[in-house]
Amino acid sequence: MAETNITPKSKPKPVAVTATPTAFETPKFEMPKFEIPKFEMPKFDMPKFDMPKFDMPKFDMPKMEVPPAFRELAEKGIAQAKGNYEKLKSTAEQTTDMLEETYTTATSGCSSYGLKLIETARANSNAAFDLVGELLGAKSYSEAVEKTTAYMRSQFETLTAQAKELGEHAQKVATDTAEPIKETFSTLGKAA
């Protein structure tokens, strides 16, 4: 048998015809326009309730004459309250003045105590530097021990004297600071 070549006939492909040929052209689509209907909420009438109305009660002061004894008592109470207020005010002013004076005294006392401490520390460090200078000049071990022992004795006596002096100064500062407080409270106690 003889073979025959039968090829199915294919349809020719459509060719786009353009006025100006371009390599790639994207098709242009337009979105269809739909109209969206407007939605309105249905309107409901709210039920109408009458709110209860409350009137504030009216309190009228009775028109009566205050007896003279009560009036006199009230006037005395007011005068006494004014007098007590004046006493309290003067006491507060005195206390404020006393606290200011106490603070000033304490501040100056503490600063003078601090200066004494610095002076003491300076004297002790100078003595220590003098000892180091003497030790560097020592020619033998026994001389160094002798100088160290003498320094220790003198420093013990010096430190004892310095501690006593600082303690007396601290006590003086505390007494000077507390004195105005004692005086103010004694005068306030007598006034009350």
Helix runs in the chain, H state only: 68-136, 141-191
Residue that is written with structure tokens 């003595």 in the block: 127
Residue 124: CB partners within 8 Å, gap ≥ 6?
A: 155, 158, 159, 162
Q: Tell me the three-class secondary structure of 74-105, residue by residue.
A: HHHHHHHHHHHHHHHHHHHHHHHHHHHHHHHH
Q: Does residue 189 surpass a pLDDT of 90? A: no
Cβ atoms of 116 and 166 closer than 8 Å: yes
The dihedral region occupied by 104, where left means phi > 0, alpha psi between -120 and 50, and beta the remainder, is: alpha
How confident is residue 114, by pLDDT bands cut at 50, 70 and 90?
A: very high
**Alpha carbon of 68 to those of 64, 180, 184: distances in Å?**
12, 48, 42
Maximal CA-CA distance, the chain: 154
> SS3 for 188?
helix
Q: Does residue 15 surpass a pLDDT of 70? A: no
How confident is residue 8, by pLDDT bands cut at 50, 70 and 90?
A: low
Q: Which residue has the higher pLDDT, 18 or 149?
A: 149
- Residue 84: the pLDDT is 92
pLDDT tens track for 126-161: 999 999 999 999 899 999 999 999 999 999 999 999
Structure tokens at 136: 């560097």
Quote the pTM value.
0.51
